[in-house]
Amino acid sequence: MSHIFPRHTKAHLPVVAGGEGCYLIDTDGKRYLDGSGGAAVSCLGHGDHAVIEAVKAQMDRIAFAHTSFLTSEPAEKLADLLIEHAPGTLDRVYLVSGGSEAAEAAIKLARQYHVEKGETQRGHLIARKQSYHGNTIGALSAGGNEWRRQQFGPLLLQMSHIDPCYEYRYREDGESLEAYGRRSADALEEEILRVGPEKVMAFMAEPVVGATAGAVPPAPGYFKRIREICDKYGVLLILDEVMCGMGRTGSLYACEQDGVAPDILCIAKGLGAGYQPIGAMLCTAEIYSAIESGSGFFQHGHTYVGHPAAAAAGLAVVGAMIERELIPRVQTQGEALMEKLRERFGQHPNVGDLRGRGLFRGIELVADRETKAPFPPEKKLAATIKKKAFEAGLICYPMSGTIDGKLGDHILLAPPFIIEDAQLDELVDKLETGIEAGL
Ligand code: PLP
């Protein structure tokens, strides 16, 4: 009998024995095409020797040294590399162990920044209904994923959630994409005015939404308008790129494509590519200097911040993305994947929307294309597709949820950046098998 406490207590999972490129292999020798990189993690694929060697070499030198006493070479170099390519005035990197930790650190830094500046009344965070920022209490409070929040209501912090920028569901008939983007962003100004601008500390959003709704990009101009509104009211902009960042959408930082830079940015997942647990929070020179010239101490931290072996993995992963020119490859393979999805599912009666950027693609399933009515939750469509696709040898990331009753079942695809054309065909074939079996 196993003593592992799995997330799905009723599932009996195969045991992973190895991995090679885009495939995972279980102890029975069955191969699974990793069509979602787990959860948008394995961007370099499995068994990347350069990254493994970099981690080993760091472990041979020193695995751990507490950051209260010592910094480390890989942590310093990784921070330099991330900032060299970062947008706007992002200038400092706080290394953590994953996405939820990055989100928690971002929320606390936003609050501390205002406290350091004497604006102690600013403690309200605005986020969006269609978002996921992690599973710890602060990050979960910021997220709008109803399914994940449901039973923890009494524990969650007071934050407000505005409508997402989600044109498939929220754009009105005859409204241009640009007009919708503006209207959608203006909801932030309304909420700031409702709460009282002097009380709002930050707005938090994913540039391309991942785990709540399957790769939803913003409408053109949305984030530029959001940036203007934040600046007008002295509200910090926190962008959560835990899922969509680190090359996943075709640029190292996802927000580059929207022409905006945040005050605070969160990354994780693809940063370590699964070789080590690592995330990071980046902030501007202005925010850092408010702390430096104020209390001189960020009132936050976990034992494993700045872990040297994890930093060595991050350094090797980002280095590999740049040296191997994988980000342009994400753009071409991402277009190729989208084309194949359009060919296969573009006219499918139960596929309402195909979307995304780069190798971050989403499929929204509907009971009726005309009315966009979702399938009833009792059908458990996403769960069945996940199971059937897995049996067919594909790992993909189906999800279901609801926002104001508007959201149904989605599938997120986020394969490794090294995926070949033939593997894209295999992915689409096996996905079709899973979808048809689920329907
Ligand atoms: N933020 C976003 C946008 C995510 O998609 C996730 C995880 O899916 C998180 C934060 C939380 O990251 P982690 O699971 O590494 O704690």
Q: Tell whether 11 is covered by a domain.
A: no
Do 309 and 365 reside in the same domain of the chain? no
Nearest residue (CA) to ligand 1, atom 1? 133
Do 272 and 387 reside in the same domain of the chain? no
What integer pLDDT is reported at residue 408 of this predicted model? Answer: 86
CA of 105 to the centre of ligand 1 (A): 13
CA of 97 to the centre of ligand 1 (A): 11
Q: Tell whether 149 is covered by a domain.
A: yes
Q: What is the pTM of this model?
A: 0.98
For the chain, how many structural domains are there in total? Answer: 2
Q: Tell whether 386 is covered by a domain.
A: yes
Q: Tell whether 9 is covered by a domain.
A: no
What integer pLDDT is reported at residue 68 of this predicted model? Answer: 95
Atom of ligand 1 lying closest to residue 279 CA: 15
What is the CATH number for 347? 3.90.1150.10
ipTM of the complex: 0.99
CA of 100 to the centre of ligand 1 (A): 6
Q: What is the pLDDT of residues 324-358, one digit of tens each?
A: 999 999 999 999 999 999 999 999 999 999 999 99
CA of 101 to the centre of ligand 1 (A): 9
Among 323, 355, 378, the domain boundary falls at: 323
CA of 151 to the centre of ligand 1 (A): 19
Nearest residue (CA) to ligand 1, atom 7? 134
Q: Tell whether 210 is covered by a domain.
A: yes
Q: Tell whether 101 is covered by a domain.
A: yes
Among 257, 289, 323, the domain boundary falls at: 323
Do 32 and 92 reside in the same domain of the chain? no
What integer pLDDT is reported at residue 405 of this predicted model? Answer: 67
Do 378 and 292 reside in the same domain of the chain? no
Do 367 and 306 reside in the same domain of the chain? no
Nearest residue (CA) to ligand 1, atom 5? 243
Do 57 and 134 reside in the same domain of the chain? yes
Do 340 and 203 reside in the same domain of the chain? no
What integer pLDDT is reported at residue 145 of this predicted model? Answer: 84
Among 240, 242, 267, 410, the mutation site with the greatest number of ligand 1 atoms within 8 A of its Cβ is 242
Three-state SS for the chain is CCCCCCCCCCCCCCCEEEEEECEEEECCCCEEEECCHHHHCCCCCECCHHHHHHHHHHHHHCCCCCCCCCCCHHHHHHHHHHHHCCCCCEEEEEEECCHHHHHHHHHHHHHHHHHHCCCCCCCEEEEECCCCCCCCHHHHHHCCCHHHHHHHHHHCCCCEEECCCCHHHHCCCCCCHHHHHHHHHHHHHHHHHHHCHHHEEEEEECCCECCCCCCECCCCCHHHHHHHHHHHHCCEEEEECCCCCCCCCCCCCHHHHHCCCCCEEEECHHHCCCCCCCEEEEEEHHHHHHHHCCCCCCCCCCCCCCCHHHHHHHHHHHHHHHHCCHHHHHHHHHHHHHHHHHHHHCCCCCEEEEEEECCEEEEEECCECCCCECCCHHHCHHHHHHHHHHHCCEECEEEECCCCCCCCEEEEECCCCCCCHHHHHHHHHHHHHHHHHHC
Do 356 and 389 reside in the same domain of the chain? yes
Q: Tell whether 287 is covered by a domain.
A: yes
Atom of ligand 1 lying closest to residue 103 CA: 10
What integer pLDDT is reported at residue 209 of this predicted model? Answer: 96
Q: Tell whether 349 is covered by a domain.
A: yes
Among 304, 323, 342, the domain boundary falls at: 323
Residues with CB under 6 A from ligand 1: 39, 98-100, 103, 132-134, 206, 210-211, 240, 242-243, 268
- Kindly give the confidence (pLDDT) of every residue in the chain, 439 residues in length, as a single tens digit, with 9 standing for 90 and above: 889 998 888 888 999 999 999 999 999 999 999 999 999 999 999 999 999 999 999 999 999 999 999 999 999 999 999 999 999 999 999 999 999 999 999 999 999 999 999 999 999 999 999 899 999 999 999 999 888 888 999 999 999 999 999 999 999 999 999 999 999 999 999 999 999 999 999 999 999 999 888 899 999 999 999 999 999 999 999 999 999 999 999 999 999 999 999 999 999 999 999 999 999 999 999 999 999 999 999 999 999 999 999 999 999 999 999 999 999 999 999 999 999 999 999 999 999 999 999 999 999 999 999 999 999 988 999 999 999 999 999 999 999 877 776 678 999 999 999 999 999 999 999 999 999 999 9
Nearest residue (CA) to ligand 1, atom 13? 99
Do 397 and 250 reside in the same domain of the chain? no
Do 339 and 318 reside in the same domain of the chain? no
What is the CATH number for 166? 3.40.640.10
Domain residues for the domain of 319 are 52-323
CA of 96 to the centre of ligand 1 (A): 13
Do 211 and 157 reside in the same domain of the chain? yes
CA of 242 to the centre of ligand 1 (A): 6
Do 304 and 186 reside in the same domain of the chain? yes
